[in-house]
Amino acid sequence: MRRIITISREFGSGGKEVGKRLADALKLPFYDSKIIHMLAKETGLQESYISEISEHGSYPYAFNFGRTFMALPTLQMNQNEILIAQQKVLKKIAEKGDCIIVGRGADIVLEEYAPVKIFVYADMDAKIKRCLAKKPSEEQLTLTEMKKKIKTVDDGRRRFHDILSNRTWGEKENYDLCINTTNLAIKQLIEPLAQYIENYYQGK
Amino acid sequence: MRRIITISREFGSGGKEVGKRLADALKLPFYDSKIIHMLAKETGLQESYISEISEHGSYPYAFNFGRTFMALPTLQMNQNEILIAQQKVLKKIAEKGDCIIVGRGADIVLEEYAPVKIFVYADMDAKIKRCLAKKPSEEQLTLTEMKKKIKTVDDGRRRFHDILSNRTWGEKENYDLCINTTNLAIKQLIEPLAQYIENYYQGK
């Protein structure tokens, strides 16, 4: 049986790190922002633009054109078309073989592959702490601004999920396992999580 | 650091089995209905009566007196007093040493011990199937009746939780780990879960 593991996560909860480390432990291909790169190649659009649409389901009001030349009709490409292109990319990835995918609504889009659906979350204080520890030195956000950023990103993820499904983003009923990273280090999670995945597929 | 593991669970999700098997794997004392027995001894009340109050926070309308003699003043013992007695019993258990406790609001009552809080849940169909497989042969419930029973029991647990805390029963934010038992056998869960507990306490 094909092993597709999807990881949904709250911003700052360490979900990406969970996915990356789990992929290393299980020796599985790992897809995160790599998907944006694949999508940019497929559609000819700029990665930052696709990133906003494909993860958050919204058209960015402030859009940095950068130095990429894009014709207007391409720029106006319908949001739905990008989402459809992303679904194609996700299915291509799943068709290739076993993998771990973080975000991008993969838990919904790849439902036919019966993925193991994991949700990673944490208390707000823990998320703020993690974000502040990771933020690039030029980014000088206050605690309040960081909290606002976390909420804004997660609102976007919720909104994006709502476009794809009538199931609520982050509601435990929609996942196989929900992991709170507030009280333990991500690396402590990987061994039991890898074992969980092994056992999950045993005999399937 | 004292290892207190609390397991909250939806009726029919297999939470008790998770607790029992995990206790065997980690060689920890396991407390479930044993608490009712301890409470009956402490208060002099009938176990079935205590069970209703202590787990569901409600006075049972249809109460079977059985063959136990009870004086009316004892019977009218305030619900809060029973809850307080239960809290004492839970704290006595925690004081004795490491343990796993299923239900009884132990996640709330024993908060000062910083327990690992686990919530076990499953899809309704899976819970009905599990309940029907386990039900005594004399209990002839239809699917609809079983579904109703599951909802009623969980409503009681939610109500009981509401008496103890303003946090919502079953909301993932209130637990360290939420495990959906719909798609895999309980026994497949135990090895990774025991590993998770070991890692959780590593270095604490």
User: Quick check: A200 and B184 CB within 8 A?
Assistant: yes
pLDDT at A49: 75
Q: How far is CA B80 from CA B57, B73, B77, B153, in A?
A: 9, 15, 8, 20
CA dihedral angle for residue A125, residue A128, residue A129, residue A133, rounded to 10 degrees:
180
**Chain A residue at shortest CA distance from B177:** A179
For residue B100, pLDDT beyond 90: yes
Work out the pLDDT band at A66, boundaries 50, 70, 90.
Answer: very low
* Residue appearing with tokens 């819970």: B127
Nearest to B126 by CA among B22, B5, B44, B11: B11
Work out the pLDDT band at A3, boundaries 50, 70, 90.
Answer: very high
**Interface contacts (A, B; CB < 8 Å):** 70
pLDDT at B54: 61
Of all residues in chain B, the percent with pLDDT exceeding 90 is 53
* pLDDT tens digits, one per residue of A5-60: 999 999 999 999 999 999 999 999 999 888 888 888 877 777 877 777 665 555 44
pLDDT at A65: 41
For residue B173, pLDDT beyond 70: yes
- A79 versus A152: which is more confidently predicted? A152
* Alpha helices, DSSP H, located in chain B: 15-26, 34-43, 47-56, 72-75, 79-96, 106-109, 124-134, 143-164, 186-201
* pLDDT tens digits, one per residue of A159-183: 888 888 889 999 999 999 999 999 9
Mean of per-residue pLDDT scores for chain B: 85
CA atoms within 13 A on the CB side of A141: 17
Mean of per-residue pLDDT scores for chain A: 85
* pLDDT tens digits, one per residue of A69-91: 444 444 455 677 778 888 889 99
pLDDT at B161: 86
Question: If you average pLDDT over residues B38-47, what whole number do you get?
Answer: 80
pLDDT at A23: 97
Nearest to A199 among B121, B192, B202 (CB): B192
For residue A64, pLDDT beyond 90: no
* pLDDT tens digits, one per residue of B116-138: 999 999 999 999 999 988 876 65
pLDDT at B137: 61
User: Quick check: A199 and B191 CB within 8 A?
Assistant: yes
CA dihedral angle for residue B82, residue B83, residue B86, residue B91, rounded to 10 degrees:
-140
Phi, psi of A174 (to 5 degrees): -90, 5
For residue B21, pLDDT beyond 70: yes
Question: If you average pLDDT over residues B96-111, what whole number do you get?
Answer: 94
Length of chain A in residues, anyone?
A: 204
- A46 versus B6: which is more confidently predicted? B6
Contact A4, A78 (CB under 8 A): no
* pLDDT tens digits, one per residue of A95-144: 999 999 999 899 999 999 999 999 999 999 999 999 988 876 656 788 89
Of all residues in chain B, the percent with pLDDT exceeding 70 is 84
For residue B157, pLDDT beyond 50: yes
Kindly report which listed range (A169-173, B47-51, B117-121, B193-197) carries the lowest average pLDDT score.
B47-51
pLDDT at B59: 44
Chain A interface residues (partner B, CB cutoff 8 A)? 119, 121, 123, 170, 172-173, 175-180, 182-184, 188-189, 191-193, 195-196, 199-200, 202
Residues of A in contact with B116 (CB under 8 A): 183
Question: Residue A184: what residue type?
Answer: L
* Total-model pTM: 0.88
Angstroms from A136 CA to nearest CA on chain B:
28
Phi, psi of B102 (to 5 degrees): -100, 130
